[in-house]
């Protein structure tokens, strides 16, 4: 069913987005069912929809994460700058092209935003800061998190990786220190960046919705055809932080071959031994 722009705006407002809000948005727009003319025009209209919902005083922030390479296989073409394309979807890619939008300088976990709070949220997010720093700034500004059509087994509630960061979990795991990217520093020089913190797998994040529901920290609703949700940033992060500090394993995904979830000593202890045996065995069998 094709959904009209007016209906999308009405649904987002009914969900709880208000004028003046600072909002971090994660979206799977295809699920909403709003489409006009072509893909590019539709994405542009999406930015207009979000702007209309939060108004001139509101701020919109999107993840605009970028590609990396394995440290033993350096790719000189992967160089982050203000206009690097993101793999995070059409919406941030449209915003990247807008000259008024502000992008943080983190070489792999950058965010892009517009609105009066965008500079404050993004200005300190660079190669020296932690990956999910902007979410902490959004919390300080009493912001909200919006999941548009992406309540599924791929996307986690936004506070999950930030809670992992606060708990020190993002600095652990087999992939830490292995992935890199080049970036251009403030002096215009090309530098090498190594990812030393990462949230990893998001596919078990759906298991946190129970905690968010019983703590009244999430509101669900439909935006067009897409099942969606809105959360107060601080409230939802606190609920997730408390849940993960009691048991970090509740967000392990359903794929038992996932290295992020099951190859981490801190998650599965001696369970990592058979995990890596199975991994090596399956690689040998493929050869
Ligand atoms: Zn996983």
Q: Give the 3-state secondary structure of 66-124.
A: CCCEECCCCCCCCEECCCCCCCCCHHHHHHHHCCCCEECCCCCCCEEEECCCHHHHHCC
pLDDT tens digit sequence for 14-37: 999 999 999 999 999 999 999 999
C-alpha 174 – ligand 1 centre gap (Å): 13
C-alpha 271 – ligand 1 centre gap (Å): 15
Cα diameter, the chain: 58
Nearest-10 Cα torsion for 217, 150, 52, 82 = 110
C-alpha 195 – ligand 1 centre gap (Å): 18
C-alpha 87 – ligand 1 centre gap (Å): 19
Sorting pLDDT into bands at 50, 70 and 90, what band is 175? confident
pLDDT tens digit sequence for 150-171: 999 999 999 999 999 999 999 9
pLDDT tens digit sequence for 51-67: 999 999 999 999 999 99
Q: 114, 94, 101, 1: which is closest to 51 by C-alpha?
A: 114
Query: Is-above-0.85 flag for pTM?
Result: yes
pLDDT tens digit sequence for 177-226: 999 999 999 899 999 999 999 888 999 999 999 999 999 999 999 999 99
C-alpha 117 – ligand 1 centre gap (Å): 33
pLDDT at 57: 97
Q: Are 106 and 131 in contact (CB under 8 A)?
A: yes
C-alpha 100 – ligand 1 centre gap (Å): 36
Which ranges of the chain does DSSP label H, i.e. alpha helix? 5-15, 39-54, 90-97, 118-122, 133-140, 159-166, 209-214, 233-246, 259-262, 265-268, 272-286
Token pair of 13 as six digits: 């407002």
C-alpha 9 – ligand 1 centre gap (Å): 34
Q: Which long-range contacts (CB under 8 A, 24 or more apart) does 39-46 make?
A: 39/90, 40/90, 40/94, 42/90, 43/90, 43/91, 43/93, 43/94, 44/94, 45/5, 46/90, 46/91, 46/94
C-alpha 257 – ligand 1 centre gap (Å): 8
Exposed, middle or buried by CB within 10 Å (0-12, 13-18, 19+), for 204? buried
Q: Decide if pLDDT at 277 tops 90.
A: no
Q: Specify the higher pLDDT residue, 269 or 137.
A: 137
C-alpha 167 – ligand 1 centre gap (Å): 18
pLDDT at 284: 86
pLDDT at 2: 86
C-alpha 188 – ligand 1 centre gap (Å): 37
C-alpha 68 – ligand 1 centre gap (Å): 19
C-alpha 79 – ligand 1 centre gap (Å): 27
pLDDT tens digit sequence for 68-118: 999 999 999 999 999 999 999 999 999 999 999 999 999 999 999 999 999
Q: Decide if pLDDT at 1 tops 90.
A: no
C-alpha 44 – ligand 1 centre gap (Å): 33
pLDDT at 154: 94
């Amino acid at each position: 069913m094709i959904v009209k722009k007016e209906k999308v705006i009405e649904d987002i407002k009914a969900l709880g987005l208000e004028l003046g809000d600072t909002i971090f948005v994660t979206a799977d727009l295809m699920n909403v069912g709003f489409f006009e003319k072509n893909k590019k025009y539709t994405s542009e209209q999406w930015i207009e929809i979000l702007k209309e919902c939060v108004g001139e005083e509101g701020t919109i922030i999107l993840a605009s994460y970028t590609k990396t390479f394995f440290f033993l296989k350096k790719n000189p073409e992967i160089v982050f700058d203000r206009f690097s394309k993101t793999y995070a979807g059409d919406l941030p890619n449209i915003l990247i092209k807008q000259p008024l939008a502000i992008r943080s300088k983190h070489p792999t976990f950058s965010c892009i935003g517009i609105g009066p709070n965008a500079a404050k949220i993004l200005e300190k997010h660079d190669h020296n800061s932690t990956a999910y720093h902007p979410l902490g700034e959004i919390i300080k500004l009493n912001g909200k998190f919006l999941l548009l059509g992406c309540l599924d087994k791929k996307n986690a509630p936004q506070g999950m990786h930030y809670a992992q960061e606060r708990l020190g979990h993002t600095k652990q795991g087999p992939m830490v220190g292995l992935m890199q990217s080049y970036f251009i520093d403030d002096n215009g020089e090309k530098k090498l960046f190594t990812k030393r913190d990462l949230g990893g797998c998001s596919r078990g994040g759906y298991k946190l919705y129970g905690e968010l529901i019983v703590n009244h920290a999430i509101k669900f609703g439909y935006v067009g055809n897409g099942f969606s949700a809105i959360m107060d940033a601080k409230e939802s992060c606190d609920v997730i932080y408390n849940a993960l500090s009691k048991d970090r394993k509740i967000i392990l995904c359903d794929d038992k071959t996932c290295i992020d979830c099951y190859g981490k000593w801190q998650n599965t202890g001696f369970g990592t031994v058979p995990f890596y045996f199975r991994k090596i065995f399956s690689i040998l069998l493929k050869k």
